[in-house]
Amino acid sequence: MKAYIFPGQGSQFTGMGKDLYDANEKARGLFRQADEILGFDITKVMFTGNADELKQTRVTQPAIFIHSVAVALSSDSFQPDMVAGHSLGEFSALVSSGALSYEDGLRLVSKRAQAMQRACDIRPSTMAAVLGLDDKVVEDICASIDEVVVAANYNCPGQLVISGTIAGVETACEKMKAAGAKRAIILPVGGAFHSPLMEPAREELAEAIEASSFSEPVCPVYQNVNALQAVDVRMIKLNLIAQLTEPVRWTQSVQNMVNDGATHFYECGPGKVLQGLVKKISGAVEAASL
């Protein structure tokens, strides 16, 4: 069975999507449509912008979404038995599986990016990658700290991202190292994504999600908050709303997809990060770019 997976923030690069734009008329149409919906030439920024321009909140998330969806929808071989996306990538997965229109998906992603930026501005916060510790150890250390700091991304066994206040994350990193972590590194991000500090963004995005029209997807969507497959529209919406303040359970999602019959994983979008994670989670499956 074929599983299609969609990357999240951080996989952007200058020139992303240009080869697809030049070679595929359908993809070209999606890029041009995005420029109109967003009200600025995001295509130009994606193709020629420097790293700082691509890191702008209003650019990064829509850019990855546009590229990912264009890869999937312009491919004749895109026939998913199941889909999943990492954080932001869940929106790409929902659009590619027919649960959400491209236009509504892009508008939601744009609103999400702006809402997250506003939440970051309210209280300085950050994230850190922790390598070489069991999930339970990381969770227990976070729980022992008298600050907001939580497990945010379960990327693969031995690789977990934590999220919270600057003081909380810094304290947690020291405790992780003392507990035997190979590394505990503060990440260059603007805020504490997938933590309680994103509650203002969650509330803001919830209204937009509720107001958007969703349909039953053509295949199961494995969602971040519980790593379980969903086809019910109401459940998809509720999980998507909860996503901003809850952890990304990527390890568990891939494990469940494999248990449900996935044998080939195809990454749609910029970079190859998810392929690497899939291989670390389950060496028994194939993983490649679409």
Active site residues: 87, 194
In a 3-state reduction of DSSP, which class is residue 158? coil
Cβ-proximal residues to 84 (8 Å cutoff; 6+ apart), any chain: 3, 4, 5, 6, 90, 93, 221, 222, 223, 253, 254, 257
What is the rounded CA–CA span in Å between residue 206 and residue 227?
Answer: 20
Give the pair of three-digit tokens for residue 290: 């679409």
232 close to 223: Cβ distance less than 8 angstroms? no
The DSSP annotation for 235-274 comes to HHHHHHHHGGGS-B-HHHHHHHHHHTT--EEEE-SSSSHH
192 close to 126: Cβ distance less than 8 angstroms? yes
Q: How many helices and strands, by DSSP H and E, does the chain display?
A: 13, 10
What is the rounded CA–CA span in Å between residue 58 and residue 42?
Answer: 9
**Pick from 246, 117, 137: which is nearest to 184 by CA?**
137
